[in-house]
Amino acid sequence: DGGITQSPKYLFRKEGQNVTLSCEQNLNHDAMYWYRQDPGQGLRLIYYSQIVNDFQKGDIAEGYSVSREKKESFPLTVTSAQKNPTAFYLCASSKYGGSGANVLTFGAGSRLTVL
Amino acid sequence: DQQVKQNSPSLSVQEGRISILNCDYTNSMFDYFLWYKKYPAEGPTFLISISSIKDKNEDGRFTVFLNKSAKHLSLHIVPSQPGDSAVYFCAAKGGGSYIPTFGRGTSLIVHP
């Protein structure tokens, strides 16, 4: 079955440590996205990528970094510069970057907790 | 400044009744509107969408209505079922960007 796989589902980090969240899709989608969900804040866009080796900052990119070396993979690194990293992180992908409704398919999410 | 607003954080409905979830937007250039459903500790799943050239789209128990003059859309669920209990996100796309903008979500609780 095609889909998006995020790992790990739960992650604990000590302050000052960088952590990387994995996101892999086998939907042959071109565009991939990272969102962050906080209670009462909805989904906020961190980074997005429409093609391999290209990505753009979203609304809250500070303290995060990404790479897009393969079409299937879009890992997110939460760096020590992110002041409040405890959150639920969602990876998504979509087939087309432009026309139509651009329906996103989401992964199951990764819960990061900073101790 | 929120371009997509869901002003009701929560909604409680009796099983079998109608659930109406509302969404307002400010950007008149949005060309598609979408609703996603999210259970706790899971990713959102796409529910239904509507193009800005339409005023209604229906899929089974779910109907979305769009009022462009009021910049308002609503999702109707009839009849509501306990399994519909989830957070519903309104999203809009367009205005020069393919990236959807999400509202803050409305938590729907359907009581048996």
User: pLDDT at position A115, please?
Assistant: 85
User: pLDDT at position A2, please?
Assistant: 74
Q: What is the DSSP string of B41-105?
A: TS--EEEEEEETT-SEEEETTEEEEEETTTTEEEEEESS--GGG-EEEEEEEEETTEEEEEE---
B84 to chain A, closest Cα gap in Å: 18
User: pLDDT at position B97, please?
Assistant: 85
User: pLDDT at position A81, please?
Assistant: 87
For the segment B91-98, the average pLDDT, to the nearest whole number, is 88
User: pLDDT at position A101, please?
Assistant: 86
Given a cut of 80, is residue B32 above it in pLDDT? yes
Residues of A with CB below 8 A from B51's CB?
Answer: 101
Contact call for A111 and B34, based on CB within 8 A? no
Segments in chain A below pLDDT 70:
1, 96-98
Given a cut of 80, is residue B5 above it in pLDDT? yes
Minimum-distance CB partner of B102 among A6, A42, A97:
A42
Minimum-distance CB partner of A104 among B9, B100, B103:
B100
Strand arrangement, sheet containing A19-25: A4-7, A19-25, A76-78, A64-66
User: pLDDT at position A3, please?
Assistant: 93
User: pLDDT at position A98, please?
Assistant: 63
pLDDT digits (tens, 9 = 90+) for B46-83: 999 999 999 999 999 999 999 999 999 999 999 999 99
User: pLDDT at position B16, please?
Assistant: 98
User: pLDDT at position A1, please?
Assistant: 67
Mutation test of the interface with chain A: which of B7, B36, B99, B102, choosing the one with the most A Cβ atoms within 10 A? B99
Residues of A with CB below 8 A from B103's CB?
Answer: 42
Write the CA distances from A100 to A70, A104, B36, B93, B95, integer angstroms: 25, 12, 16, 9, 13
A109 to chain B, closest Cα gap in Å: 6
Q: Give the SS3 label for residue A31.
A: strand
pLDDT digits (tens, 9 = 90+) for A45-78: 999 999 999 999 999 999 999 999 999 999 999 9
Minimum-distance CB partner of A106 among B32, B43, B104:
B43
Query: CA-to-CA distance for B96 and B87, rounded, in angstroms?
Result: 28
B109 to chain A, closest Cα gap in Å: 16
